[in-house]
Each structure stands twice: as C-alpha cells, then as structure tokens.
Amino acid sequence: MTISNPHTQTITKDNTALRHDWSSPEVLRLFNLPFNDLLFRAHSIHRQQFDPNQVQISTLLSIKTGACPEDCKYCPQSVHYDTGLEREKLLPVEDVVAAANAARETGATRFCMGAAWRQPSDRNLEKVIKLISAVRETGMETCVTLGMLSDSQALRLKEAGLDYYNHNLDTSPEFYSEVVKSRTYDDRLDTLKNVRDAGLNVCCGGIVGMGESRTDRAGLLVELANLPIHPQSVPINQLIRVAGTPMESLEDLDELEFVRTIAITRIMMPHSVVRLSAGRTEMSDSRQTLCFFAGANSIFYGEKLLTADNPEAHSDKVLFEKLGINRKNAAAESAA
C-alpha cells in the first residue's frame, strides 16, 4: 500500500519545503547518481539542517525478550524459529533504571525500551508506563517499541510522558510479504497513524540486506518520506543474520549501497535524525565515516541491540575522537 497524501509538501519554520510526493522512479534516479555527486548533495543538505560534526546517542534495552508470536524472518525473538534465545519476563523497574543511568553516564540522551509483543495488553502497557516514568526521572528522553498500538494506547503513552514511539516499516510494500506474514503493511501504517495522532514523536525506518532489490529500498524510502509527517527519527538497519532464522544465509549488502541508502534518506527527509542502527558490528570505521558524511547523525551506544551484538561505547568514542565528532548533549537535544 502506498500512502495517499493530499499534501505534497510541508513548509517548516525555516521555510524549508519538506516533500511528501516522492515516486520510486525519482528515488531510483538518486540511487543511480555517481557516488561522489550523491554524497555531495546529501552532505550539503545535512550541513544546512544539522551540525555535521555532532551525533545523537541512544541506547536500546530489551525489557521483555523472546516468544514473540510474529513471524518476521529476520528476528531471533520470534517463537517460530529456534535461535536458542531464552524467553524472559518483563524486567523489574530497578534493573531498567540502572541500565538507563549507565547509558546516561556513557553519553546517551535517549533510552529506548523494546518488548517482544505483537501488541501490548492494557495491563502490560501500564507496567511499561511505570518504566517510562522511572526512566524520565533519570533525565533521559524515552522511546519504546512494543508492537502495534490502538489509538487509546498511543494516547495513554503520550499522557504518561513518552517522547518517541518506534515502529518500523521494515521494507517496501511489494517485498513485505517475503519478510512478514503475520502482520500486514496496513497494520504498521495504522499504528503509525495512531502514534502521530496522539502527538508522539515517530521513530520509523527499515532494514536493508534482506534480499530485497534496489527498487524495494527505494520503495521503503518513498513510504517513509510520503507519510503525512516525516518521522522525527529514521533508523536504517543492516540485517543481522541470526542462525536459526530464515535469513541466516543471505549475502551481505554491498557496503557502498548501504551508504547510498543513508545519503538518499538524508535527501528525502532533511529534518529527520537518521540513525545507524543494527549491523554496526559488521561495519568498518571507514564505512561508518562515509555514513556520517552522507547524513547519519545518530547511533545506538551499548553492547546489545535488544538481543544482537553492538559496538562497545569505547570503540565509538575512539572513532568520534578520530573524526572530531561531538556527542549531542541533553540540553541541545531538548532544544532541537
């Protein structure tokens, strides 16, 4: 499904026109640009909207792991696949607060919590709301990813003070059935609408390297950019091939193709924070550097992304020092 949007552009406070009328052929033409021309264009836009030497840091914690009823072919937490992952109950408040404090001390300004549910029950939602309140008391921004949400659940999270809700589209509408069958694309779009209508900030992106074509990567970006409001955060994940999942034997996505995807994300959604998310353990410093130049300005700190490995904070600090990149502090984050 392609979003039908009567508004082709939004005019922002700085008189920037944000487009919502992209087409796949147009995006494919961006993919086909000479690499240097594409990066120059993306970096020029990035520099107009952001400090090119500043990166926002988030940390992601799995607060309820395993036994998810969904059949996402990339996910080790799905009950459909034998990945050796043990099912865990919702973490207690004190454990989550300790993790949030540790994340803040390493420079993170946003603390993201993920639970392996198709959709939270109202009872479980209230438990998560207690975690949100506790994390907010540490001074961190809060984000959760809990699966699908009803309109009333989204409003309840907004009333509780949640800052961001993450719900990815994963891929293009055309390739989606090759990845997930237990939830429709419209289900995802409905949740995003409920989140937007509640007044929450949206964190929404996708995964590349799942065997999709370049046309599918273009299709994903079209869907994201043609939403009524561009997601405030756009995580671009590289597939982590987990043993036991149907995607464990897929070939790696070409490194420069990944950088191209980051650059085009920046061009199409110039005001959004573009996050290098899953897969950074497989990325060289040089590749990440190209991504920062192309417009990525957020990463996840921490040794784990839900259940997957992630570079240690020390490694990222060393790279930032080499590049002269500063971490975005909490005060700047609040003012943005």
SS (H, E, C) 234-261: EEEEECCCCCCCCCCCCCCCCHHHHHHH
**Phi, then psi, of 286 in degrees rounded to 5:** -65, -40
* Contact assessment for residue 198 and residue 155, using Cβ atoms and an 8 Å cutoff: yes
Q: Which of 41, 156, 183, 203 is catalytic?
A: 203
By DSSP bridging, strand 304-305 and strand 201-203 are: unpaired
75 flagged as catalytic: yes
Residue 204 bears catalytic tag:
no
DSSP per-residue letters across 219-232: HHHHHHHTSSS--S
- Among candidate residues 41, 72, 188, 327, the one labeled active-site is 72
Q: Catalytic residue, from 183, 260, 275, 280: name it.
A: 275
Rounded Cα distance, 278 and 306, in Å: 10
Contact partners, residue 27, CB within 8 Å, separation at least 6: 218, 221, 222, 264, 268
For residues 229 and 279, what is the distance between their CA atoms, to the nearest angstrom? Answer: 27
Residue 291 known to be catalytic: no
Whether 157 and 149 have beta carbons less than 8 Å apart is answered as yes
Q: Compute φ and ψ for 9, nearest 5 degrees.
A: -160, 155
Q: How far apart are CA 43 and CA 251, in angstroms?
A: 29
Contact 231, 205 (CB under 8 A): yes
Does residue 275 have an active-site annotation? yes
Handedness of CA 296, 301, 303, 304 (dihedral sign): negative
Instruction: Indicate which residue of 41, 110, 143, 266 is catalytic.
Output: 143
Which residue, chain included where needed, has tokens 């043990």?
A: 86
Residue from 41, 112, 260, 327 carrying the catalytic annotation: 112
Phi, psi (degrees; rounded to nearest 5) at 332: -65, -35
* Active-site residue, selected from the candidate residues 41, 75, 156, 204: 75
Q: Which amino acid type is present at position 321?
A: E
**Alpha carbon 179 to chain centroid, angstroms:** 17
Positions marked active-site: 68, 72, 75, 112, 143, 203, 275
